[in-house]
Structure 1
Amino acid sequence: MGRSVIEIDGSLGEGGGQILRTALSLSCLTQAPFRMLRIRRNRSKPGLQPQHLTAVRALKTVCQADVEGDRAGSQDLVFRPRRVVPGRYDFDIGTAGSTSLLLQALLPPLLFADAPSTLQLVGGTHVRMSPPFDYLQSVFFPFLHSIGITASVSMERHGFYPQGGGRMGATVMPVDGGRNIPPVQVPSPPFLKKIRGVSAVANLPIAIAERQRDAAMKILQGNGVEAEVDVRSVSAFGRGTYIFLGSMGKCAAGFSSVGERGKRAEAVGAEAAQELVSYKQTEACLDPHLADQVLIYLSLAAGRSTFTTSMITEHLITNLATIERFLSIDAEIRGRQGDRGAVTVKGVGFKR
Structure 2
Amino acid sequence: AQVAKGGSAGSVGLVAQTVLLPLALAPGTSEVTLRGGTHVPWSPVYDYLKRVYLPTLKWMGVEAKVQIVKWGWYPVGGGEVKATIQGLPSEARLEGLALLQRGELLRVRGLSASSNLPKHVRERQEGTALGVLRSNGVNPRLDLLDGPSKGTGSVVFLWAEFENVLAGFTALGERGKPAERVAEEASRALLAYLQGDGALDRHLADQVILPLALAAGPSSFTTESATQHLLTNAWVVNQFFPGRVRVEGVEGTPVTLCTVAGGGL
Report the TM-score when normalising by structure 2. Answer: 0.94
CA distance in 2: counterparts of 1:108 and 1:148, whole angstroms: 11
Give the equivalent residue in structure 1 for 2:253.
339
Give the equivalent residue in structure 2 for 1:242.
155
Say yes or no: does 1:180 pair with 2:93: yes
Give the equivalent residue in structure 2 for 1:230.
143
Post-superposition offset of 1:119: 0.6
CA distance in 2: counterparts of 1:190 and 1:206, whole angstroms: 37
CA distance in 2: counterparts of 1:192 and 1:91, whole angstroms: 41
CA distance in 2: counterparts of 1:91 and 1:322, whole angstroms: 30
Give the equivalent residue in structure 2 for 1:101.
14
Report the TM-score when normalising by structure 1. Answer: 0.72
Say yes or no: does 1:124 pair with 2:37: yes
Give the equivalent residue in structure 2 for 1:151.
64
Amino acid at match of 2:12: T
For residues 49-88 of structure 1, the aligned pairs below 5 Å read none
Is contact 1:206-1:232 (8 Å) kept?
no
The number of residues matched between the two structures is 263
CA distance in 2: counterparts of 1:231 and 1:127, whole angstroms: 19
Residue among 188, 195, 199 paired with 2:112: 199
Say yes or no: does 1:112 pair with 2:25: yes
- 1:222–1:335 distance in 2 versus 1, CA, 3 Å: farther
Give the equivalent residue in structure 1 for 2:202.
288
Post-superposition offset of 1:189: 4.4
Is contact 1:195-1:246 (8 Å) kept?
yes
| CA displacement 1:152-200 (0-9 Å, x = unmatched) | 1111011111111000111111122122111111141443221100001
Residue among 264, 272, 280 paired with 2:178: 264
Post-superposition offset of 1:328: 3.9
Residue among 326, 331, 336 paired with 2:240: 326
| CA displacement 1:138-159 (0-9 Å, x = unmatched) | 1111101111111111110111
The structure, 1 or 2, with the larger RCO (C-alpha pairs under 8 Å, 6+ apart) is 2
Give the equivalent residue in structure 2 for 1:305.
219
Unpaired runs of 5+ residues, structure 1, are: 1-50, 55-88
Sequence identity percentage: 39
Amino acid at match of 2:200: L
More strand by share: 2
Q: What stretches of structure 1 move > 4 A for 4+ residues in a row?
A: none
| CA displacement 1:185-234 (0-9 Å, x = unmatched) | 11414432211000011111111111111211222122222211111212
Amino acid at match of 1:164: G
Say yes or no: does 1:90 pair with 2:90: no
Q: Secondary structure at the match of 1:238?
A: coil
Is contact 2:237-2:245 (8 Å) kept?
no
- 1:132–1:202 distance in 2 versus 1, CA, 3 Å: same
Unpaired runs of 5+ residues, structure 2, are: none
